[in-house]
Amino acid sequence: MEVSQHDISAGLSILCLGRTDRVEFRELLPSLEAWGTVLAAATVAEATDRLDPMSFSPDLIVVAQSYPDEFSATRIEPLRRQWPLTRMIALLGAWCEGETRTGNAWPGAVRVFWHQWASRCALELSRMLKGRASIWSLPSTASAQERCLALARRTETCDTGDVAIVTRQFDVYEWLAEACRRRGYQPHWGRPRDERPVRSPKFILLDAAREPAEDLALARRLRSGANAPMVVLTDFPRCRDRDRFLAAGARAVLSRPFFWDDLFHHFTAE
């Protein structure tokens, strides 16, 4: 694959590595191009052979890893030596959920799963471009705990409106409801068997915790009964799972655990 370059007039400089033609990474290049100049290469060798470090110094390196150890720590070491202060993002594909057990996670990298990418990219790159605090702009030596502390210090953006939280479990409703209240929303518990869980909600949160066919049917029913954006919460979705929920009317599909910023980003996204 040739190294490709996508320019816009101003913004961040980003180096993107990996198989961006894979289905789980189909949003990667378009999402990066919205924020600056993107240089894309399939392998580290292409990047180091073709890029001139004197004329291109990335603000961010994104490595799309399809399976554990596709890019080993040894393989990406030349990038660290060439740009030691640049933050590296490990974008993990659908087969990398167990990477910390079956592979070797790179030290000093921020790990983002493919289904987290859309919200995380928009939030962090917009902050970097505006010169505001971003966990992606912290030093590469910052630990995961330090990144979480930096995230917790952010000022929450509040809104108003009713949120229908559709779940079979009241304890799941309770912790989602508390987060919604902190953001200014008014939560309401809707159980799947209810014909219309909440009348005219502003947003819908669907806890998809049963059989996929049953949850998909529920998602379609909720969207047909309410003209409101819907976010589906599930566990380790595959690409086909996300696509089916999107086709059923969901705005986004998030996997637990998730950051609150990721969830509420989809409430305000167009």
pTM, rounded to two decimals: 0.79
Question: Does position 117 have pLDDT exceeding 70, yes or no?
Answer: yes
26, part of any domain: yes
Closest CA to 187 of 210, 218, 159: 159
Residue 9: its pLDDT value, please?
A: 41
pLDDT at residue 192, as a whole number: 82
* Region of poorest pLDDT, from 137-151, 170-184, 186-200: 137-151
Which pLDDT score, from 0 to 100, does residue 6 have?
42
- Residue 156 in domain: no
Residues 115 and 180 in one domain: no
The CATH number of the domain where 202 resides is what?
Answer: 3.40.50.2300
Asked if residue 178 and residue 147 are part of one domain, the reply reads: no
* pLDDT greater than 70 at residue 154: no
Domain end among 86, 117, 151: 151
Residues 53 and 180 in one domain: no
Give pLDDT, residue 181: 93
Contact criterion met (CB below 8 Å) for 134 and 121: no
> What pLDDT sits at residue 99?
61
Q: CA angle 181-261-148, nearest 5°?
A: 110
- Residue 113 inside a domain? The answer is yes
Which of 107, 131, 151 lies at the terminal end of a domain, its last residue?
Answer: 151
**Judgement on whether residues 8 and 138 belong to the same structural domain of the protein:** yes
Domain boundary among 112, 130, 151: 151
Q: What is the mean pLDDT of the chain?
A: 84
Same domain, 109 and 84: yes
Residue 258 within a domain: yes
Among 151-155, 195-199, 214-218, top mean pLDDT goes to: 214-218
What does the pLDDT read at residue 155?
59
pLDDT for residue 62 is more than 70:
yes
Q: Identify whether 157 is part of a domain.
A: no
Q: What is the per-residue pLDDT for 18?
A: 94
Are 110 and 10 within one domain? yes
Do residues 229 and 109 share a domain?
no
12 and 143 belong to one structural domain: yes
Say what percent of the chain tops pLDDT 70: 85
d(CA 266, CA 151) in angstroms, rounded, equals: 17
Structural domain includes residue 240 = yes
Which band of pLDDT confidence, cut at 50, 70 and 90, is reported for residue 175?
very high
pLDDT band at 120 (very low <50, low <70, confident <90, very high): confident
* Mean predicted confidence (pLDDT) in 230-254: 91
Tally of CB atoms within 10 A around 254? 23
Please count the structural domains in the chain: 2
| Closest by Cα among 227, 232, 235, 228 to 216 | 232
First CA to last CA distance, the chain: 34
% of the chain at pLDDT higher than 90:
36
In this structure, the answer to whether residues 129 and 97 fall within a common structural domain is yes
Indicate if 9 and 138 belong to the same structural domain. Answer: yes
Find out whether 57 and 87 touch, Cβ atoms under 8 Å. Answer: no
Mean pLDDT, rounded, for 140-149: 69
64 and 19 within one domain: yes
Q: Which domain holds residue 208?
A: 162-268
102 within some domain: yes
Please state which of the ranges 19-28, 52-61, 150-159 shows the lowest mean pLDDT.
Answer: 150-159
Residue 96 lies in a domain: yes
pLDDT tens, position by position, 88-112: 999 999 888 766 555 567 777 888 9
**One domain for residues 133 and 30:** yes
pLDDT for 15 equals: 94
Query: What is the pLDDT confidence band of residue 152, given thresholds at 50, 70 and 90?
Result: low
